[in-house]
Amino acid sequence: EVQLVQSGAEVKKPGESLKISCKGSGYSFTSYWIGWVRQMPGKGLEWMGIIYPGDSDTRYSPSFQGQVTISADKSISTAYLQWSSLKASDTAMYYCARQGSSGYYPGYWGQGTLVTVSS
């Protein structure tokens, strides 16, 4: 069974750094793209970027380029999303999602990580 398990909720102050994780299991971690999706409170889904853990090829949405860093450690089947300096506007739920088995749609989703940034 494909599973994506994300790290727990975080409460941070503006200016702090943060790295959240998404651990894949039940499949070949290096063979499928994993993307990150933001959902601000009461809002829709926004694609942030995507990584291919096999060779760490990473692409970003223009809206998030330079704002976050996506990485992966294939030795522990884990993808990451990180910020160097959080803002209050980064408060949101963040989902990781794996490419589907039959195409490039996000077929499998993690449970989400709630990030709250407040002074």
Partner 1 sequence: EIVMTQSPATLSVSPGERATLSCRASQSVSSNLAWYQQKPGQAPRLLIYGASTRATGIPARFSGSGSGTEFTLTISSLQSEDFAVYYCQQYNNWPQWTFGQGTKVEIK
Site for partner 1 in 77-106 (CB under 8 A): 95, 97, 100, 102-106
Cα–Cα distance measured from residue 12 to residue 9, given in angstroms and rounded to the nearest whole number: 10
Sequence-ordered strand ranges (E) for 18-101 = 18-25, 34-39, 45-52, 57-60, 69-73, 78-83, 92-99
Please state the closest distance from residue 112 (CB atom) to partner 1, in A: 5
Binding of partner 1 by 111 (CB under 8 A): yes
Taking contact as CB under 8 A, which single stretch among the options 14-22, 37-45, 69-77, 81-89 is the one that binds partner 1? 37-45
Shorter beta-carbon distance to partner 1: residue 54 or 112 = 112
Kindly state whether residue 27 participates in binding partner 1, applying the rule CB under 8 A: no
> Beta strands 45-52 and 106-109: pairing type?
unpaired
Q: Is 31 in the site for partner 1 (CB under 8 A)?
A: no
Asked if residues 117 and 43 have their Cβ atoms less than 8 Å apart, the reply is: no
Neighbours of 14 (CB within 10 A): 13
* Site residues for partner 1 per CB under 8 A: 33, 35, 37, 44-47, 50, 59, 61-62, 95, 97, 100, 102-112
